[in-house]
Amino acid sequence: MITLADLYQKALRRYEAVLRAHIIGEDPFPIVIPTNKTLDRQRGADAIFDQQRELLLHSKNKTGQGYTLDLKLNPKTSQSEIRKISFETCTDFLYFIRKEAAYQVFVQDIERIRVASPALLPLVERIPRLVTEQAGKWSDLLKVTAYFLQNPKPQQYVRSLPIALPTKFIENNRPVLRTLLDHLIPEHLNADETDFYKRFHLHVEEPLVKVRFLDASLRVHPMLSHISVWLSEFRTLCLSGSRIFIIENLTTFLTFPSQPDSIAIWGGGFAVTLLGGTDWLYNKQLYYWGDLDAHGFLILDQFRKHFPQTQSLLMDRATFDAHKHLKGKGETTSVTELPYLTQEERDLFDLLNRNGWRVEQERLGAEWVKKALNFM
């Protein structure tokens, strides 16, 4: 015989159908739950009762609420047996699965949706859990959808949208808002974009590119030794200078020695790959200087994919051997195919990755750095 725990799980699986029925105005009750398991009648009437005891004690027949048992006397055993289990009303059903409060919130949220944005009803009918998973948020979610229905291409920063909401609400609820807006304004979205902001025509704060002029004669203004520009602007800037040093860490970028006809760019880890597509860099002598660790060589490999002319700086075996007493624990990687490294670079990568070693850029002596630059 089915257990009380089995019955609870079976009933819970019907909850979404009950929610859907409310949305479309249907009454799904009574709901019948199959008993599935048969009774063992070989051990007599007392054993039959024991198999059904839990269900009998918690049934509506006994308590006045919850599931109803259809009982029939078995003349062979003289014992009543459960033939059918059903929920006669929504109230009984919700009581048993302990969803009364959640269902009332659902009903209120559906009414909000029906009044404020009836075009969403086919969506929530198809996915009722969308409503329950966002319980307590629908007033604000509907403010956002109402705005986008009126302004499907805002062309503003998300926190500048004139919606009476906490400033981070849209940012924190992007997955559900994407589902709602995809349904409501499919003809206005950038369908090929997976980024939420680009998909819905919102401005995105671009990464900043930090630049140091290592030769004062190259400055865009005599008083500016450093500048920071949006990535899109950097791509059109076409700065003077034949040599460009891309430096991974901020401290070494800020302290890198002056060099003739040169500028430095702060790479900032894997963000350096964002420079790909900057056409004017193809005509420059490029040098990449990263940490002596597995990730430093991963970045070098990715950067060289965009700019094949890139040379590594201070990422050689001699530099490692001279500073290996300063090595620390570095991250390793499962990546083994680095097709854009030279054989010497690949050998050093393998050594560092295999042992989990790392020598940070900042640990290299200033004289060692200057000596390397003097030979360029």
Domain ranges (residues) in the chain: 4-98, 103-199, 208-374
Quote the CA–CA distance of 69 and 53 in Å, as a whole number.
12
- Global pTM reads 0.64
Q: Is the dihedral of CA 41, 44, 45, 50 positive or negative?
A: negative
Helix (H, G, I), strand (E, B) or coil at 225: coil
Q: Which of 3.40.1360.10, 3.40.80.10, 3.20.20.70, 3.30.460.80 would CATH assign to domain 208-374?
A: 3.40.1360.10
Quote the CA–CA distance of 174 and 137 in Å, as a whole number.
13
Q: Where are the alpha helices (DSSP H) in 268-332?
A: 294-306, 317-323
DSSP-assigned letters across all residues of 27-51: ---SEEE---SPP--TT-HHHHHHH
Closest CA to 326 of 372, 362, 289, 371: 362
Contacts of 172 (CB under 8 A, 6+ apart): none
Q: What is the pLDDT along the chain (376 residues), one digit of tens a residue?
A: 788 898 999 999 999 999 999 999 999 999 999 886 665 555 555 555 566 778 888 899 889 999 999 877 766 655 667 788 999 999 999 999 999 999 999 999 999 999 999 999 999 999 999 999 999 999 999 999 999 999 999 999 998 999 999 889 999 999 999 999 999 999 999 999 999 999 999 988 888 999 999 999 999 999 999 999 999 899 999 999 999 999 999 999 999 999 999 999 998 876 788 898 899 999 999 999 999 999 999 999 999 999 999 999 999 999 999 999 999 998 899 998 999 999 999 999 999 999 999 999 999 988 999 989 987 7
Instruction: Name the phi and psi angles at 339, rounded to 5.
Output: -70, -15
How many CB atoms sit inside 10 A of residue 52's CB? 20
